[in-house]
Chain A
């Protein structure tokens, strides 16, 4: 056998050139093969047949001007004056018109506090988080409910529309994550009593439909409470929604916990870190980043499920919309479609925003997670 010895090492070479630019992209991504070209054209055709009528309805044929139903009577497109006329009702429900600056302020404060929290580069994250998660809910409660600081008391029965949707969704989202984490840890606990309680709680709430929970909270709970003790109807619904979504969240978080190898726990314990610090600093940060898609999935589901409060006579965005439909002063051929299109767009904006933001967070955390 002849021996081989390399006399000259191969130097580093740059990678081969790739075609760049729009033409190359079209060529390779959309029209690389006849089959691909055919699929591209079919997709394009489908897109146009679906999108064009929608654009016509929403924009081209839509009625934009007018103050009464007469403006929309002959229209084949959306009747935007209807939305304009009912806008206050859709956003605030029957919140007194003179007091609507209070929900407005709550919305604005929420946006102002949330935005910098979502931008990784913004400073003072700790303070910002305290303001948003601790101060803001209290402040919102005082502002919305009133009855103190010279604010007129507004009963929750009069709240409605997007305000209710956001209050229920926000409370559910903020409460369900920490509760869900505790439940997930409980379910994996080595203490049997803690484990059984967590399992019982999770399985109970996952076993009943949200509608049942809402019914129970609204109509049956008062029967079990001693006479004279009563809680606000909306509060009961909020607690029901929070516990319900916490049970789902717990299972998502548990999935993440299972993905963390034992060696990570042992690395922490071996340093002398106690249980809660091992969980808080080592296990949960890794577990939660792995289940961001599941967590956000739950948030989005919860946001849309809030609309079920309709059946316990709380009128959220969709509830107010249906109430508005029954107004004979706005009975036009396209009222129904316009209303649903408007509500659909609002839901879509919120849910799509959550979805995109979670993708952004995943990519950003992927920087360190990929380097496992």
Chain B
């Protein structure tokens, strides 16, 4: 299900992408095209290369072979281009990666002020709007360490949204959270998905995947083994490795 108009470039296009950590071949020929407005959930066993894949998309990891084009900009060794790509790609991390020495508000306004060159007041208005959207406007002047894990991850989402990114990358956003807090983060992500945000989510939350994903990609040994819309993925997995994985996590 691809909704983007033909003229716009794909949100992400990866062509035969390879990457090694030393001798270890972590990504082996990844081909992935994500259209504007599309939601992809990537799952797979640990060590399968999911995180590396998503971190290659905003240049936190360098790929060694192949092409990665994000919003029409190809990632090369050119640092300026990498910054352009990162500006348009918000990223959420497993450990939130908030800046502990800055308040929630300062976390949210740092990049808009210094990268987007917005006046402080305007940046704060935008930040407030997104903090309301993730349901924690009252925490704006606290420090990250004073918030619960779920609240911190929602701040991280608001911080990314403040840059008005064309695409949102989630690297296991709920893996470090207590069970009671996972839902509050997933609810915010579901809202984003409903609003048409392009999202690539590395996650094992199969309920979330079933609800919002356009396609689910299953990775193993550095490759995308199977990719299908949720219904098909869960009802009729084709690859043996996918079947095994699903049988282990869906109980």
- How long is the Cα–Cα vector from A358 to B145 in the complex, in angstroms? 24
Whether A67 sits at the interface, judged by CB under 8 Å, is no
From residue 220 to 239 of chain A, which have CB atoms closer than 8 A to chain B? none
Chain A residues lying within 8 Å of B145, measured Cβ to Cβ, are 368, 370-372
Query: Given A267, A269, A274, A289, which contacts B99 in the complex, CB threshold below 8 Å?
Result: A267
- How long is the Cα–Cα vector from A285 to B102 in the complex, in angstroms? 10
- How long is the Cα–Cα vector from A266 to B59 in the complex, in angstroms? 10
Do B100 and A371 touch across chains, with their CB atoms under 8 A apart? yes
Smallest CB gap from B97: residue in A: A267
Do B95 and A269 touch across chains, with their CB atoms under 8 A apart? no
Interface residue range, chain A: 20 to 34
From residue 309 to 346 of chain A, which have CB atoms closer than 8 A to chain B? none
Whether B60 sits at the interface, judged by CB under 8 Å, is yes
Whether A36 sits at the interface, judged by CB under 8 Å, is no
Interface membership of chain A positions 255-277, coded 1 if the CB is closer than 8 angstroms to chain B and 0 otherwise: 00000000110111111111101
Chain A residues lying within 8 Å of B146, measured Cβ to Cβ, are 371
Do A271 and B110 touch across chains, with their CB atoms under 8 A apart? yes
- How long is the Cα–Cα vector from A368 to B100 in the complex, in angstroms? 7
From residue 2 to 55 of chain B, which have CB atoms closer than 8 A to chain A? none
Do B97 and A289 touch across chains, with their CB atoms under 8 A apart? no
Of the listed residues A266, A272, A281, A368, the one surrounded by the most CB atoms of chain B closer than 10 A to its CB is A272
Do B110 and A281 touch across chains, with their CB atoms under 8 A apart? yes
Tell me, rounded to whole Å, the shortest Cβ–Cβ distance linking A8 to chain B.
24
Whether A118 sits at the interface, judged by CB under 8 Å, is no
From residue 110 to 162 of chain B, which have CB atoms closer than 8 A to chain A? 110-111, 114-115, 143-146, 159-160
Tell me, rounded to whole Å, the shortest Cβ–Cβ distance linking A183 to chain B.
22
Whether A32 sits at the interface, judged by CB under 8 Å, is no
Chain B residues lying within 8 Å of A263, measured Cβ to Cβ, are 93, 95, 97
Do B91 and A369 touch across chains, with their CB atoms under 8 A apart? no
With A368-B143, A371-B146 as contacts: A272 and B111 at CB distance below 8 Å: yes
Binds A, one of B82-90, B181-189, B206-214, B229-237: B82-90
Whether A140 sits at the interface, judged by CB under 8 Å, is no
Whether B223 sits at the interface, judged by CB under 8 Å, is no
Do B163 and A368 touch across chains, with their CB atoms under 8 A apart? no
With A267-B93, A371-B144 as contacts: A273 and B101 at CB distance below 8 Å: no
Do A271 and B101 touch across chains, with their CB atoms under 8 A apart? no
Do B90 and A270 touch across chains, with their CB atoms under 8 A apart? yes
Whether A131 sits at the interface, judged by CB under 8 Å, is no
- How long is the Cα–Cα vector from A267 to B110 in the complex, in angstroms? 12
Do B83 and A274 touch across chains, with their CB atoms under 8 A apart? yes
- How long is the Cα–Cα vector from A138 to B159 in the complex, in angstroms? 42
Do A271 and B83 touch across chains, with their CB atoms under 8 A apart? no
Whether A286 sits at the interface, judged by CB under 8 Å, is yes
Whether A114 sits at the interface, judged by CB under 8 Å, is no
Tell me, rounded to whole Å, the shortest Cβ–Cβ distance linking B127 to chain A.
13
Smallest CB gap from A270: residue in B: B91
Interface membership of chain A positions 267-297, coded 1 if the CB is closer than 8 angstroms to chain B and 0 otherwise: 1111111110100011001100100000000
Do B60 and A271 touch across chains, with their CB atoms under 8 A apart? no
- How long is the Cα–Cα vector from A264 to B84 in the complex, in angstroms? 20
Do B101 and A269 touch across chains, with their CB atoms under 8 A apart? no
Whether B98 sits at the interface, judged by CB under 8 Å, is yes
With A371-B144, A371-B146, A372-B145 as contacts: A273 and B97 at CB distance below 8 Å: no
Chain B residues lying within 8 Å of A277, measured Cβ to Cβ, are 114-115
Do B93 and A271 touch across chains, with their CB atoms under 8 A apart? no
Do B163 and A267 touch across chains, with their CB atoms under 8 A apart? no
With A263-B97, A264-B97, A371-B143 as contacts: A270 and B60 at CB distance below 8 Å: yes
- How long is the Cα–Cα vector from A282 to B114 in the complex, in angstroms? 13
Do A270 and B58 touch across chains, with their CB atoms under 8 A apart? yes
Query: Given B91, B97, B100, B114, which contacts A281 in the complex, CB threshold below 8 Å?
Result: B114
Tell me, rounded to whole Å, the shortest Cβ–Cβ distance linking B143 to chain A.
5
From residue 47 to 95 of chain B, which have CB atoms closer than 8 A to chain A? 58-60, 79, 83-84, 86-91, 93, 95
Query: Given B93, B97, B100, B163, which contacts A272 in the complex, CB threshold below 8 Å?
Result: B163
Tell me, rounded to whole Å, the shortest Cβ–Cβ distance linking B161 to chain A.
11
- How long is the Cα–Cα vector from A274 to B146 in the complex, in angstroms? 28
Chain B residues lying within 8 Å of A286, measured Cβ to Cβ, are 99-101
Do B86 and A271 touch across chains, with their CB atoms under 8 A apart? yes
Chain A residues lying within 8 Å of B100, measured Cβ to Cβ, are 286, 368-369, 371-372
From residue 344 to 372 of chain A, which have CB atoms closer than 8 A to chain B? 368-372
- How long is the Cα–Cα vector from A369 to B146 in the complex, in angstroms? 11
Of the listed residues B59, B84, B93, B114, the one surrounded by the most CB atoms of chain A closer than 10 A to its CB is B114
Do B97 and A266 touch across chains, with their CB atoms under 8 A apart? yes
- How long is the Cα–Cα vector from A263 to B91 in the complex, in angstroms? 12
Tell me, rounded to whole Å, the shortest Cβ–Cβ distance linking A270 to chain B.
4
Of the listed residues B79, B99, B143, B159, the one surrounded by the most CB atoms of chain A closer than 10 A to its CB is B99
Do B60 and A266 touch across chains, with their CB atoms under 8 A apart? yes
Query: Given A272, A282, A370, A372, which contacts B83 in the complex, CB threshold below 8 Å?
Result: A272
Query: Given B79, B91, B115, B144, which contacts A273 in the complex, CB threshold below 8 Å?
Result: B115
The 9 closest A-B pairs by CB, nearest first: A371-B145, A267-B97, A272-B87, A271-B111, A270-B91, A272-B86, A371-B143, A263-B97, A372-B100
Pairs across A and B, CB under 8 Å, 25 listed: A266-B60, A266-B93, A267-B98, A267-B99, A270-B58, A270-B60, A270-B91, A270-B97, A271-B87, A271-B111, A271-B163, A272-B84, A272-B87, A273-B110, A281-B99, A282-B99, A285-B101, A286-B99, A289-B101, A368-B100, A368-B101, A369-B101, A370-B145, A371-B143, A371-B146
Q: Which residues of chain A have a CB within 8 Å of any CB of chain B?
A: 263-264, 266-275, 277, 281-282, 285-286, 289, 368-372
Q: A371-B143, A371-B145 are in contact. List 13 more A-B contacts (CB 8 A).
A: A266-B97, A270-B86, A270-B97, A271-B111, A271-B159, A272-B86, A273-B115, A277-B115, A286-B99, A286-B100, A289-B101, A370-B145, A371-B144
